[in-house]
């Protein structure tokens, strides 16, 4: 498959253009030649030295990640930026990035993956960002206690051995759950307005403690990395259906 075809297919599935004015990440193809053949695509959460090296070791032609290299562009290609780009150029490794489009995808996205883990039903988009959404909410098939929900997350997510933190200020039974992966506590008020008993996200901000306490809602902090492995894994399955060889690299940060 030509790289341009792979990029076009991914952009269409993820509606990359719809997030162009909403996301600091330069989504789509960040590094790559105009024309090249792709047979092997690697997948990882982060576009960093560790994942570049693994992709090169397996002979991948392209690497698809959630967190890329360009956040608002490069002023200079020097220092650490140069060091990260150099192996891509030297090994003809293309880099494709999908940040908020992959968060917001209601079937393949990160929040959808967490909702699968929690067996949520009656799902709807959640986490408004302009005209788009970056999360999902739904109803638990069976109500959770706070301990049960935390344990389900710890047992199912790649937390790097770290516990799931929780701010337990909500009801004894959790039925309605809102999800924004990564750093999502800015959507706590929206979760409250939506009638959620709990907000599940990756990492928090200091103000979230008192906001959750005053609003009477649970907040579960399951790790930025741990909540964002689902999207790239779903894309891997999709690309395999397109007939390409794939690899996935798990490089948990514990954060």
Residue 134: CA count within 13 A, CB half-sphere: 26
228 is in an annotated binding site: yes
Chain-centroid distance, C-alpha 50:
18
Nearest to 111 by CA among 147, 75, 135: 135
105 is in an annotated binding site: no
17 is in an annotated binding site: no
> Could you tell me if 1 and 244 are in contact, meaning their C-beta atoms sit under 8 angstroms apart?
yes
Q: Say which residues have a Cβ less than 8 Å from residue 213's Cβ, sequence separation at least 6.
A: 167, 169
Three-state helix/strand/coil letters over 128-151: EECCEEEEEEEEEEEEECHHHHHH
d(Cα 61, Cα 148) in Å, to the nearest integer?
42
Nearest to 205 by CA among 183, 220, 228, 178: 183
Residue 183 has φ and ψ, to the nearest 5°, of: -110, 95
Nearest to 41 by CA among 51, 110, 50, 105: 51
Residues annotated in a binding site for a divalent metal cation? 66-67, 103, 224, 228
Residues annotated in a binding site? 66-67, 103, 224, 228
């Amino acid at each position: 498959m030509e790289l341009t075809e792979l990029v076009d297919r991914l952009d269409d599935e993820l509606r990359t253009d719809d997030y162009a004015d909403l996301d600091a990440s330069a989504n789509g193809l960040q590094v790559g030649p105009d024309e090249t053949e792709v047979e092997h695509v690697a997948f990882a959460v982060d576009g960093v030295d560790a994942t570049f090296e693994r992709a090169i070791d397996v002979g991948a032609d392209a690497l698809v990640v959630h967190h890329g290299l360009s956040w608002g562009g490069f002023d200079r290609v020097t220092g650490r930026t140069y060091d990260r780009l150099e192996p891509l150029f030297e090994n003809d490794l293309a880099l494709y990035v999908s940040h908020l489009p992959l968060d917001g995808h209601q079937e393949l996205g990160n929040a959808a993956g967490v909702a699968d883990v929690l067996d949520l039903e009656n799902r709807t988009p959640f986490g408004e960002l302009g005209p788009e959404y970056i999360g999902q909410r739904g109803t638990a098939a069976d109500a959770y206690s706070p301990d049960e929900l935390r344990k389900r997350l710890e047992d199912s997510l790649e937390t790097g051995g770290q516990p799931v933190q929780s701010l337990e200020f909500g009801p004894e039974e959790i039925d309605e759950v809102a999800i924004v992966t990564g750093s999502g506590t800015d959507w706590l008020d929206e979760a409250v307005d939506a009638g959620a008993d709990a907000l599940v996200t990756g990492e928090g901000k200091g103000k979230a403690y008192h906001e959750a306490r005053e609003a009477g809602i649970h907040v579960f902090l399951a790790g930025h990395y741990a909540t964002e492995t689902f999207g790239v894994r779903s894309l891997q399955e999709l690309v395999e259906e397109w007939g390409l060889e794939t690899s996935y690299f798990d490089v948990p940060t514990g954060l």
